[in-house]
Structure 1
Amino acid sequence: MVAGEALAPQKHNSPANGKGRASHDAVQPRQIWSVAAVDAQPLLLAFAMAGGAAAYFVAPSEPPFWLALLAPFAGAGGIALGRRMRLPSVLQIAAWLAFGVALGMCAASVRARLVAAPVITDETGPVIVEGWLSEVETGSKGPRLRIEIHAIAGLTPEATPKLVRLTHRSRLEVSSGRFVRCWAVLRPPPSPSMAGEYDFRRQAWFEQLGGVGYVQGRCRGGALGAPEGVMADVRMKVAAFRRRLAAHVNVAAGERAGGFAAALVSGDRSYMRVEDQVALRNSGLAHLLAISGLHMAIVGGLVFYLMRRLLACIEPLALRVPVQKPAAVIALGASLAYLVISGAGVSTQRAFIMLAVVFGAVLFDRAALSLRSFAIAMILVILLQP
């Protein structure tokens, strides 16, 4: 009897049982929809946040700040209410989308106010500009100097911009990280010449670039030391190190390839010839100069691979610790160092965040490559650089 009962087919699992099949078919699509909805929520939130940030930038006027701050709380309340009342999944997803749009608009509005800095309103005559040289860029008419301002003759501290960019037409005799004094003509960031063109003023606002102009003569080094504050001092030291590194790579790689190699290593393109940059743009390869996912993946991935192989050779460690985890920590540190050395541009920040999400997944035994990881990286990018 016991054997017969054990061999007898179970009725609730039998395909011939119509009632069991109906119950199974009724539950299965609902379970699939529930799992899909949960997995899709981070991705839907990320795209909704991107839409909210875009809506902020295309708005014809500045939305009220209090509304931008309260909108995400209203969206979060809608999500909590939907879960409490057990509303249909479609309505809950709609609440997630509304929350994402509100959060994206809030991030853009907050970012616009955090970077608010004075902007020059009218063109000035030749004035003395004093500050710390933070970056040297390549320009068609000469190097472009990005200067962190200490003082501008004739402007009060309240009206003095934080950063200006000056075109230096003569031979450059100063280096990044130094205090400089320039005799320059300043004007506001230019507006688009035609409706719908690239708006440099908006980009300048978020870079805290309050004026552009050109140097009359040459910029000279000054005796003033590093700016006040630990972070400002660190920024100047990093800028000086990047300049020295670019100069070394430029000489070591040779005259023909030195400028390109320096741009890839340090993000400093000032050693590249203008005709080479034009050729890269015309051939559609200018994106190689922007340090982003390709470069960060090469650095982080190569360090992770080498360290994992090296740690696996240490038998006492390999038998006790999953070697991919310390390798991920070391690779993340190397990627962070490359982020700082390369200038931490927006594309580099985005690539580092995505790489950090991947290495974080390795540390916490999660799937390293998934749409959820992509969604997390996208959400962080939008919050930092909407």
Structure 2
Amino acid sequence: MDFSLSEEQKIVRESARKFAQEYLAAYAEEGEETGKWPYHIWNKMAELGYTGVIVPEEYGGGGMSYFNSILIMEEFARADDSFTTSYQVHNIICDMFNKLGTPEQKKTYLPMLASGEKMGAFALTEPNAGSDASGVQTRAELVNGEWVINGTKIFITNAGLDNSLGVVLMCVTGQRPDGRKEISSILVPKGTPGFIIGNKFRKVGWNIMDTRELSFEDCRVPESNLIGARGKGLANALHGLNLGRIDFGAIGTGVCQAALDYSLPYAKQRHQFGKPISSFQAVAFMLADMQVNTELARMATWKAVWLKDQGLPHDTEATMAKLVASEMAVRNVDMGFQIHGGYGFMKEYPISRLYRNVKILTIGEGTSEVCRIVISRALGC
């Protein structure tokens, strides 16, 4: 078993780190204060090819492996987890079109997603359907070759941005023979009549991220906007969630590393009782635990993405990566905050931004509790 990175992978990671520190880290604090999406950074990413890393070259993308995309994701999150989470939603939509789209859909949408001209958004969550994806109530009825959509989605990322493509929508399209809901995925482009974008939510953290409620009132799109097979919406969502959970593994790892990056230098330069606080065992042990937690998160994520690249089953491993990385991120940020003491409570210190942001990692892409349900079921419980 070889855990070393190839020369290509080292270059990918180092290039992503350089870009992230120069652009994302530099804007992170300002972005959290203003809540303004940095279109200038997105455009720079597009110039460098980051907006289409997993899109095949024939559609203008980089054709990279999932593993390479995870190396990029971790470095981006190390600089700014809020921006990176918006980016990972875009990546999921790129992957859904590539894996599930018709040839015409791929030809139409993948180039504009890969180029960064448009950003992707995924609309699953509803006011009464979160962890229970089968509880969606938004409905789409096929009438004279058009889907007529009615319903509400909540906590949707990227849909309100100026360059948003629109949303890949999870909705009820009928009833299965067993009486259960038939759920499908349908693309609703931004600007479609009846597609109403609500105000941006005011959040505790992740303020750069554009998060909104969406409403659909007799919204009509062509029958051909169906993504994947009719009635396969939950399977499509699982496909997206598996990649999303691996992405969250990388984001959690990046946050783990960032907390250590901020805390170790601080502990070495902060003196109390005549010496650096890093020399006290209580602090040194916290830093040691932070390093262990970071490696745990990284290795769990690397295993899951390696399995995905090999085309092997990885549902459980993706869930474990997400669970471990998100919970280790919470632990690392909490310890980093403690190491900083009163200074950690000041916005001038970036550990405070991580503290405001980190808890949502245990909720998005499957709560920790849902992740444990998935893992325990894989054990036969």
Q: Which structure: greater strand fraction?
A: 2
Q: TM-score, normalised by structure 1?
A: 0.24
